[in-house]
Amino acid sequence: MILALESAVIAHGLPRPLNIKVAVELERMAKQMGCDPKTIGIVNGKIRVGMSTSEIREMGKRDDVLKVGTRDIPVAVALKRWGATTVSATMRIAHDMGIKVFATGGIGGVHPGNNWDVSQDILELAQTNMIVVSAGAKSILDLKRTMEALETFQVTVIGYKTEEFPAFYTRSSGIRIQRIDSLDKIVKMFRTKERFDIPGAILVCNPIPEEHEIPGDEFESWKEKALAEAREKGIEGKDLTPFLLKRIMELSNGKALEANISLLKNNVRLGCEIAKKMEV
């Protein structure tokens, strides 16, 4: 009953010192639910599938940690760097170790604008067969185009007790998806994919708890301001998402941060429930 966890949230997702506290708390939660959490990261060029608490604390304090997608794994290893794995890299490493369930916050996707700015997460979700639990895609993205990309690359997208693709901080996006209320059916879907060797992940979309949801119009005002600042500063590519998330947390006076932590915990709970069903 192993549950994979990413390390990008430690180095690039949450502010210090809360980043370390939350990472340790997520592991503690998983253990209390009877799961074996494995936070994945790269330590001095060595891939860790199950970082120690001391390694998590060190990563959370360092300023030189690389943000590692799938393509960056060999770079971090060869250069003996510290690397925080995103959704794509965590999936690839976890799958290589036989781990079948991974809980994260939100996946990357297609960014707004006319530039071709698409997260490596999409391609990894398209080819790596595992169950990924998330609160949909990050709200800073173009969610309609993100969903279209997921469909194009044949990623199986389902909503756990919801008919709408959740938008990270917000429970709804207006984008319809297949609703599944049963954990047993999620496991059966995964077993069927395995049987017929169908590539790609099952993306289980788990909406943020209602009590911590941020109204869409309120979030949009923060997002537009953060995007304008990013354009002024020339921030783009893999640096854009961390900048936007950090700036939105600042603009929201902590409201977005509280929501982020809530959805992370919610996804770990569901991830553990699915992992335990996989063992039955």
As annotated, the active-site residues are 6, 138
Distance CA 212, CA 138 (A): 15
Phi, psi (5° rounding) for residue 203? Answer: -90, 105
Phi, psi (5° rounding) for residue 119? Answer: -65, 145
Phi, psi (5° rounding) for residue 140? Answer: -75, -5
Phi, psi (5° rounding) for residue 5? Answer: -130, 145
Largest CA distance in the chain: 53
- Residue 167's DSSP bridge partners are 136, 170
Query: Can you read off the two tokens belonging to residue 226?
Result: 């953060």
- Residue 101's DSSP bridge partners are 131
Look at the alpha carbons of 137, 227, 213, 273 in this order and tell me if their dihedral is positive or negative: positive
Q: Kindly give the pairing relationship between strand 36-43 and strand 83-85.
A: antiparallel
CB atoms within 10 A of CB 95: 18
DSSP designation for 195 = H
Distance CA 225, CA 274 (A): 38
Query: What angle separates helix 18-32 from helix 53-61, to the nearest 10 degrees?
Result: 150
SS3 97: coil
